[in-house]
């Protein structure tokens, strides 16, 4: 009987994909807090398929991984909120 073939090694996850616990807006420096507060979410769609997820932000359809300006990135969309990467910190904003 042949030995099982080992699973291929997965590539390392990028630093931005590293899991971390969200911080509150109050934990951000004032300029970053104001930049996050300027983001106006008007809704979102969650799907088990990440390619189908999006949020409406300022009238635009935005998908996971999008750069939102001011050093803010849409990291992940959950059923009720958007997780934003801001200056290396994760912030959760309901939509």
Structural domains of the chain sorted by starting position, each given as residue range(s) with its CATH number in brackets: 39-95 (2.30.30)
| Other residues' Cβ atoms within 10 Å of the Cβ of residue 24 | 10
In a 3-state reduction of DSSP, which class is residue 19? coil
Of the candidates 76, 80, 87, 69, the one whose C-alpha atom is nearest the C-alpha of residue 25 is 87
CA separation for the pair 16, 76 (Å, rounded): 11
**Taking a C-beta distance cutoff of 8 angstroms, is the pair 93, 72 a contact?**
no
pTM for the full model? Answer: 0.75
pLDDT digit string (tens) for the chain, length 95 residues: 455 555 445 444 444 445 578 999 999 999 999 999 999 999 999 999 999 999 999 999 999 999 999 999 999 999 999 999 999 999 999 99
């Amino acid at each position: 009987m042949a030995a099982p073939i080992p699973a291929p090694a997965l590539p390392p996850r990028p630093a931005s994909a590293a899991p971390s616990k969200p911080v509150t807006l109050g934990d951000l420096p004032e300029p970053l807090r104001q930049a996050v507060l300027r983001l106006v979410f008007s809704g979102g769609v969650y799907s088990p398929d990440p390619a189908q997820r999006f949020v409406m932000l300022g009238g635009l359809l935005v998908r996971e991984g999008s750069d939102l300006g001011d050093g803010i990135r849409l990291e992940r969309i959950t059923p009720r909120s958007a997780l934003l990467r801001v200056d290396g910190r994760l912030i959760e904003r309901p939509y």
